[in-house]
C-alpha cells in the first residue's frame, strides 16, 4: 500500500477540507497520510478527528518555508505536538508576516491599476487559514481581473511578475529548531525543487534534519533513484507525498500522487518510538 505524507488542506492554500482529504485517502486505499499545511496546524488537527473515526493512520505535520542562503527551502515537521504553545505562537507570527505581505502585494497591484481587490476579498478566499499568493490569485479571478489563477500568477504574482513580494521567512536552521522544540522530526521537503545546490542533502543533515522527501510527483525517476542512494548513505529517513493542493487550484495534483511506499510511514513510526516525549 502507498502513503501520502504531504497534503495541503483549506487550512492553508489547498482546496479540499481535512474531512474530504481523509475520505479521499480511504477511498483510494492509502495506508496513512499527513496534512502538512503551510505554517498552520489547524487542518492536521481537524483531520486527526476524522481519521481516527475511520481508522486511518495520520501523522501530525506542518510545512514551513525558509531561507537557505539565497534560495527557498521548505521544512516539513512530522510528529510535532499540535498542542505545543510555543510552536503555536511561532507559527502565528509567521502567519502575521503572510498577512502583511498580502497587503504589500495589494499595494503593488493598486500601483499597477488594479484597485478593485481589497484585503477583505483575499481573507475571504483564505477562509480564516494561512494566507498565500493563491488566495490573492483567487480574489483576482473572482473580481474578473484575470481569467484564471495561473494567469494571475503569470501576470502579477509569480516570482518574476510585477506584484511579487517575497515573504519574510525564518532561516532553515530556525525552522529546524522550531520543529525540534515541538518534539517533531524535521524533514527537507522536495529537494528536487530547490535550485541546484550540490551538497544540499549533506548540509541539511549537518543542520540536524532527520529525513528527506524523496518521493514527490515533481521528482523524476532518475532524481528519486539518486536521492534514495544519497539519503540512505547519509543515514536519513526517506519520506514522500503528493504535495496535493486539491482540484480546482493552479496545479491540480491528486492525493496519493508520487506513490510513496508504506515504508516511509514505518520509518517515521520508528523515529517516534526512538524519540518519546
**Nearest distance from C-beta of residue 252 to Fe ion, angstroms:** 13
Cα–Cα distance list, 57 to 31, 52, 75, 100, 131 (Å): 7, 8, 22, 36, 28
**Nearest distance from C-beta of residue 12 to Zn ion, angstroms:** 8
Q: Look-up: residue for cell 502507498?
A: 2
**Nearest distance from C-beta of residue 178 to Zn ion, angstroms:** 17
**Nearest distance from C-beta of residue 167 to ligand AMP, angstroms:** 6
- Which partner in ligand AMP, Fe ion, Zn ion, none is near 103 (CB below 5 to 8 A by kind)? none
**Nearest distance from C-beta of residue 76 to ligand AMP, angstroms:** 13
Asked whether position 158 contacts ligand AMP by CB under 6 A, the answer is yes
Q: Which helix or strand (DSSP H or E) is residue 222 part of? A: helix 221-233
Q: Considering all CA atoms of the chain, what is the largest pairwise distance in Å, rounded to the nearest integer?
A: 56
Q: Look-up: residue for cell 510585477?
A: 162
Evaluate whether 125 touches 138 at the Cβ level (below 8 Å). Answer: yes
Asked whether position 237 contacts Fe ion by CB under 5 A, the answer is no
Residue 73 CA to residue 188 CA, distance in Å, equals 7
Asked whether position 74 contacts Fe ion by CB under 5 A, the answer is yes
Asked whether position 150 contacts ligand AMP by CB under 6 A, the answer is yes
Asked whether position 117 contacts Fe ion by CB under 5 A, the answer is no
Evaluate whether 64 touches 83 at the Cβ level (below 8 Å). Answer: no
Q: Which of 168, 251, 259, 266 binds ligand AMP (CB under 6 A)?
A: 251
Residues 53-82 that bind ligand AMP (CB under 6 A): 65
Q: Which of 6, 50, 133, 190 binds ligand AMP (CB under 6 A)?
A: 133
Asked whether position 67 contacts Fe ion by CB under 5 A, the answer is no
**Nearest distance from C-beta of residue 134 to ligand AMP, angstroms:** 5
Q: Which residues are within 8 A (CB) of 132 and not within 5 positions of it... i.e. 6 or more apart?
A: 12, 13, 38, 98, 126
Cα–Cα distance list, 109 to 67, 70, 125, 127, 168 (Å): 25, 26, 17, 22, 19
Residue 31 CA to residue 167 CA, distance in Å, equals 35
Asked whether position 39 contacts Fe ion by CB under 5 A, the answer is no
Q: Which of 243, 246, 253, 268 binds Zn ion (CB under 5 A)?
A: 243
Asked whether position 15 contacts ligand AMP by CB under 6 A, the answer is no
Cβ nearer to Zn ion, comparing 129 with 145: 129
Residue 216 CA to residue 4 CA, distance in Å, equals 10
**Nearest distance from C-beta of residue 245 to Zn ion, angstroms:** 8
All three cell numbers of 25: 485517502
By the criterion CB under 6 A, which residues form the site for ligand AMP? 13, 38, 65, 132-134, 150, 153, 158, 167, 245, 250-251
* List of residues contacting Zn ion (CB under 5 A): 63, 243
Amino acid at each position: 500500500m502507498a502513503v501520502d505524507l504531504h497534503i495541503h488542506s483549506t487550512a492553508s492554500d489547498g482546496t479540499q477540507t481535512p474531512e474530504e482529504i481523509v475520505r479521499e485517502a480511504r477511498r483510494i486505499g492509502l495506508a496513512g497520510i499527513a496534512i502538512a499545511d503551510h505554517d498552520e496546524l489547524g487542518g492536521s488537527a481537524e483531520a486527526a478527528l476524522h481519521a481516527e473515526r475511520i481508522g486511518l493512520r495520520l501523522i501530525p505535520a506542518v510545512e514551513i518555508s525558509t531561507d537557505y542562503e539565497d534560495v527557498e527551502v521548505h521544512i516539513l515537521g512530522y510528529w510535532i505536538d499540535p498542542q505545543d504553545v510555543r510552536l503555536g505562537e511561532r507559527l502565528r507570527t509567521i502567519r502575521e508576516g503572510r498577512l502583511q505581505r498580502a497587503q504589500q502585494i495589494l499595494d503593488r497591484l493598486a500601483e499597477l491599476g488594479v484597485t478593485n481587490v481589497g484585503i477583505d476579498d483575499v481573507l475571504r478566499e483564505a477562509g480564516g487559514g494561512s494566507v498565500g499568493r493563491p488566495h490573492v490569485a483567487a480574489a483576482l479571478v473572482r473580481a474578473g481581473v484575470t481569467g484564471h489563477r495561473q494567469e494571475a500568477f503569470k501576470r502579477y504574482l509569480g516570482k518574476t511578475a510585477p506584484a511579487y513580494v517575497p515573504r519574510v521567512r525564518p532561516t532553515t536552521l530556525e525552522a529546524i529548531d522550531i520543529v525540534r522544540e515541538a518534539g517533531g522530526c524535521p524533514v527537507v521537503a522536495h529537494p528536487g525543487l530547490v535550485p541546484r545546490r550540490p551538497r544540499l542533502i549533506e548540509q541539511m543533515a549537518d543542520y540536524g534534519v532527520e529525513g528527506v522527501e524523496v518521493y514527490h510527483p515533481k521528482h523524476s525517476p532518475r532524481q528519486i533513484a539518486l536521492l534514495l542512494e544519497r539519503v540512505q548513505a547519509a543515514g536519513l529517513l526517506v519520506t514522500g507525498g503528493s504535495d496535493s493542493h486539491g482540484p480546482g487550484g493552479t496545479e491540480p495534483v491528486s492525493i496519493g500522487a508520487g506513490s510513496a511506499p508504506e515504508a516511509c510511514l514505518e520509518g517515521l513510526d520508528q523515529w517516534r518510538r526512538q524519540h518519546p516525549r
